[in-house]
Structure formats: C-alpha cells, structure tokens
C-alpha cells in the first residue's frame, strides 16, 4: 500500500514537471536526459507494482 502511495506522489510530481515544461519549454539537453530517466523509472516501478 505504501508503495502505491509513493508511486502516486511520484506521478503527481512528474505531472507538475510537465506543466512547467508546457509553460517554459525544455531548452537544456540535461533536462531531456532527466525527463527520460524519470519516465523510465516511473514506468519500471509501475511494472514492478502491478506484477507483485
């Protein structure tokens, strides 16, 4: 149960990042690397939670 709550908080913070990008754009290459890393980890954790 705690894992789902933490995953939900991660998804909410990712959504907050999306709104920032929508407003200001994504200019730096490092931001793209972080974006890909965050989405990959979020998807991986969701997969682990669903298969438990």
| pLDDT, position 25 | 80
Is the full-model pTM beyond 0.75?
Answer: no
pLDDT tops 80 at residue 28? no
pLDDT tops 80 at residue 26? no
Give the Cα-Cα-Cα angle 42, 47, 52 (nearest 5 degrees).
130
**Cα 49 from chain centroid (whole Å):** 15
Phi then psi for 11, rounded to 5 degrees?
-65, -40
The candidate with the shortest Cα–Cα distance to 17, out of 49, 47, 39, is 39
């Amino acid at each position: 149960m705690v894992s789902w709550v933490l995953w939900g908080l991660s998804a909410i913070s990712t959504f907050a990042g999306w709104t920032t990008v929508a407003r200001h754009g994504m200019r730096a290459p490092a931001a793209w690397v972080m974006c890909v890393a965050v989405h990959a980890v979020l998807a991986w954790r969701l997969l682990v939670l669903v298969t438990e």
